[in-house]
Structure 1
Amino acid sequence: MAASVNPTVRRRRLGSELRRLRERKGLTAEEVASRLLVSQSKISRLENGRRSISPRDVRDLCQVYGVEDERVIESLMTMAKESRQRGWWHAFGDVPYSVYIGLEAEATVVRNYESLFIPGLLQTRDYAEAVVTGMQPEVPAEVVDQRVNVRLARQARITTDERPMRFWAVVDEAALHRQVGGNKVMGEQMRRLLEMSELPHVTIQVVPFDIGAHPGMTGAFSIMSFPESADADVVYLEGVTSDLYVERPMDVHRYTVMYEHLTAVSLGPTESRERITELADAYEAERPPGV
């Protein structure tokens, strides 16, 4: 499902290179903005990859940074052109968290922690529809369908036979007990988890109730790693009105350590499958889980 050229990753990589050139020149973003008669926020958005950049912008910045090697300039301008292309997800229309989808489409490893519901990459259609409808009851049916279709399309990153993504999911047991969509939907969702856990590149661990307080109680997050060494890990935090992308190495390290703690206190993969099987049996028998 990933496009041959990923515009989100290209923007991020280009922004990182432009930041490196600016810092090598000893200039602040404010100084660059002043020279180009643009806002400082524009320079910041270009450097963090949250805004597309034109080849003309690249050439102007290269002049300010004293870049004279035409091969370097041409390479950066090519990246700028590629960063303005449209990813596969744009075919679905205006999709929320499109930046995240672009990063996920390129990631080779995603470590995800969820506390309230099943990770999107592991959801069935019925479960996904119930989640979207329940979380956003004001959204029209056609928009719900659009968002569910995008979510299912994203799953190709772990179901494809070619270069599948390594997916590690740590799920709080509370998410397995929350009856989204009813017993039938939950029973099918538990069976999907068991099916996906058999894939060699997918690991699912459950944080059991009896572990008590744990580091993940601050909220859900994902850590994405990429194939190119130039693309540093990114931590994604989903918000109601906006999303947060954590990229500072020190902050990413803190989330990485937090994830290691979560995997340590969780049930192992085999024990997790046993717990999920118990829940699947309970839902299918239409009795309260744990009874």
Structure 2
Amino acid sequence: MPNVRAKPTLRRRRLGGALKGFRHTCGLTLEAAEGEMGWAAGKLSRIENAKAHIWPKEIAPLLALYGVTDPEIINALEELTRDAGKQGWWASYGNVIGGGYQDYMFLESDAAGIRVYCPNLIHGLLQTTAYAREVIAATAITRGADDVAALAEVRQARQAVLTRPGKPLKIWAILHEVALRQQFPAQPTVMADQLQRLLDLSEMTTINIQVMPLGASPHPGMTGPFDIVSFDSPWPTVVNLENLRGGFFMEGSDVQVFESAFERVVASALPVDVSRETIKTIMKEGAPP
């Protein structure tokens, strides 16, 4: 497919936002900070607004000006500076996936862990290729067959974060029993393979899978699905909410609401070991006689 260049602006936005926050905390104006750094007028404003590049070697002096000397914070911002202009592997799918989806994949690729509640679907990071094709075809109602195939490829490629060397993504997924009992009459083996995939993944130490049973007591997840994406310090946690037209992010004080909600959802779901047995039972019930 054609390689449509995507704009890798999310990391620059996060970097600019962090630098702006440190500047505000120390009480310096843009003009004062630029003067202390010996920069031309407007340079810092462009950096903070993700419209200009900052070199890694400039990070430590700028943070020192702001009174930030924590090596962990300095290293994190320097690393993000080096990666800020890089494109993700998904850039070649830029004609198929929108900017919001690309932003989410940047977050996903940088994340340390993700907590998700999925009431109607298996989460994308846990899907088999066949399951992905079926659900994308059913939900991406404005897409043709070629787009569906491409989106299924993207969904599979995203799963590399689960086994990335050194620091695999940790995922805690709560899946509703309704999603586990989905059937695909034209493709009768799809669900059995998907359930086996969940059992295989649940054996990984970095993946927890819980089942929300049909008879569960009321809980905050009843309002809909959500992803809580967390990062190593100093990056703040982000919440992703999705609908038919894509997704959007929430940060700041709103995150705590979803973190508290997730704890309650966890308490309402089956324990991990019981969830495994429940998945096995559903597999047996759906097996042909």
- For 1:143 and 1:46, the matched residues in 2 are separated by 35
Choose which of 131, 144, 158 in structure 2 pairs with 1:140. 144
Tell me if 1:127 matches 2:131: yes
Indicate the SS of the match to 1:243: strand
Tell me the equivalent position of 2:112.
108
Choose which of 153, 156, 162 in structure 1 pairs with 2:160. 156
Q: 1:13 touches 1:231 (CA, 8 Å); kept in 2? A: no
> Structure 1 residue 239: deviation in Å?
2.9
Tell me if 1:17 matches 2:19: yes
Indicate the SS of the match to 1:206: strand
- For 1:242 and 1:135, the matched residues in 2 are separated by 11
Q: 1:235 touches 1:252 (CA, 8 Å); kept in 2? A: yes
Tell me if 1:53 matches 2:57: no
Choose which of 193, 198, 207 in structure 1 pairs with 2:212. 207
Choose which of 251, 254, 257 in structure 2 pairs with 1:254. 257
> Structure 1 residue 55: deviation in Å?
3.2
> Structure 1 residue 176: deviation in Å?
1.1
Q: 1:11 touches 1:79 (CA, 8 Å); kept in 2? A: no
Report Cα offsets for 1:79-100 as digits up to 9, x if no partner: 6674233122213233231111
> Structure 1 residue 14: deviation in Å?
2.6
What is the TM-score normalised by the length of structure 1? 0.75
Tell me the equivalent position of 1:183.
188
Residues 264-279 of structure 1: matches in 2 within 5 Å? 264-279=267-282
Tell me the equivalent position of 1:85.
86
Amino acid of the structure 1 residue aligned with 2:250:
V
> Structure 1 residue 175: deviation in Å?
1.1
Q: 1:224 touches 1:235 (CA, 8 Å); kept in 2? A: yes
Amino acid of the structure 1 residue aligned with 2:283:
A
Amino acid of the structure 1 residue aligned with 2:278:
R
Tell me the equivalent position of 1:280.
283
**CA 1:221–1:180 in structure 2 vs 1: closer, same or farther (change >3 Å)?**
farther
Tell me the equivalent position of 2:198.
193
Amino acid of the structure 2 residue aligned with 1:124:
T
> Structure 1 residue 280: deviation in Å?
1.3
CA RMSD in angstroms, aligned pairs only: 3.1
What is the TM-score normalised by the length of structure 2? 0.76
- For 1:259 and 1:166, the matched residues in 2 are separated by 16
Percentage of pairs with the same residue: 32
- For 1:237 and 1:52, the matched residues in 2 are separated by 24
Q: 1:54 touches 1:80 (CA, 8 Å); kept in 2? A: no
- For 1:224 and 1:233, the matched residues in 2 are separated by 6
**CA 1:83–1:190 in structure 2 vs 1: closer, same or farther (change >3 Å)?**
same
Indicate the SS of the match to 1:170: strand
Residues 221-232 of structure 1: matches in 2 within 5 Å? 221-227=226-232, 229-232=233-236
Q: For this pair of structures, how many residues does the alignment match?
A: 248
Amino acid of the structure 2 residue aligned with 1:252:
V
* Residue segments in structure 2 that go unaligned for 5+ positions in a row: 1-7, 31-40, 55-64, 68-75
Indicate the SS of the match to 1:211: coil
> Structure 1 residue 275: deviation in Å?
0.8
Q: 2:170 touches 2:206 (CA, 8 Å); kept in 1? A: yes
Indicate the SS of the match to 1:168: strand
Tell me the equivalent position of 1:172.
176
> Structure 1 residue 189: deviation in Å?
0.6
Tell me the equivalent position of 2:71.
none
Amino acid of the structure 2 residue aligned with 1:14:
G
Amino acid of the structure 2 residue aligned with 1:191:
Q
**CA 1:230–1:275 in structure 2 vs 1: closer, same or farther (change >3 Å)?**
same
* Residue segments in structure 1 that go unaligned for 5+ positions in a row: 1-5, 29-35, 38-42, 57-66, 70-74, 287-291
